[in-house]
Chains A and B, each alone.
Chain A
Amino acid sequence: MKIKFLTVICLAVVAFITACGKSDADVQKAVAAKLAADNVSGVTVAVKDGVATLTGEVADITVKNKAEASAKGVEGVKSVVNNTTPKPVPTPVPPPADPMLKGKVEENLKKAGCTGATVAIANGVVTLSGTVPEAKFVECVKIVNESGAGKLNNQLQKGK
């Protein structure tokens, strides 16, 4: 009888330990290793009661997302608190002077067959209006995006 009782106790203890899974320290190591393996840098991980908290400054939001996905896949992690932040990005290169930008955009629009598009520029902000054939629409928008302009105010319409 006594042996049976001990067996039950033992089984209960084993079940309890298994349920608790790995220790937080083990999980922390496993997450850190997984992040390194996935080339996620700049992230520090802390684990408490199976909850992994990620902190640190990362290159951009894609690294933030990747860090979270990597940590979630590690055995023993119940949930992830993602406190990483994308590092501040620099300000853009200043746009060319307005007359220069206007000349460049107009010439490239002409080359691309964007007839019907009109361009107005103030302080590096390009306002594109008029109507271009639908098939040309994206091409015309691309030209402004690739001109070095600071911003596109896109009022261009699709015609036939």
Chain B
Amino acid sequence: MSLQEKYQTLLELANQNGTSYELSEGDGVLHINGTAPSEEAKQQLWDEYNRIDPDYRAGDLMLNVSVGGAAAGGGGHTYTVESGDNLTKIGAKYGLTWQQVFDANKDIISDPDKIFPGQELKIPGA
């Protein structure tokens, strides 16, 4: 049985509840990337996923559905600064240098030695 067959009810549901999606497949994993019209619609898809593959153990589907088009906010990843953090430490979490993190956040950081807990830093490339 193909992965599309296995997850066909999930795809049918996406069509019904107004979720637009694109499929891709590689290394035995089906990827569904899409946009749902509401949180409720997204939750319906996750419920159906759980029905087909209880507790999501099979490892053959990546369901990446966001809500709304604009609500995604550009899709960039952010990191929230904690006390004791510095740019080198934060960069290391993502395989980046402190300079790369600094460059992406020059609008909010003027001095690379001064960052504050609670600041939301943009992580380039994530």
Contacts and interface: CB of A to CB of B under 8 A. Distances in A.
B11 A62 contact: yes
A134 to B, nearest CB: 11
Given A60-B23, A100-B126, A154-B56, A145 B64 contact: yes
Interface residues of A, number: 36
B57 A154 contact: yes
A60 B11 contact: yes
> Which interface residue of B29, B50, B56 has the most chain A CB atoms within 10 A?
B56
Interface in B62-111: 62-66, 77, 79-80, 93-96
Nearest to A93: B24
B23 A150 contact: no
Interface string A25-45: 000000000000000000000
A127 to B, nearest CB: 10
B15 to A, nearest CB: 6
Interface residues of B, number: 35
A61 B26 contact: no
A107 B79 contact: yes
A100 B26 contact: no
Contact of A151 (B4, B62, B63): B62
Nearest to A155: B57
Contact of A154 (B2, B26, B59, B77): B59
A97 B95 contact: yes
B1 to A, nearest CB: 11
Interface in B111-126: 123, 125-126
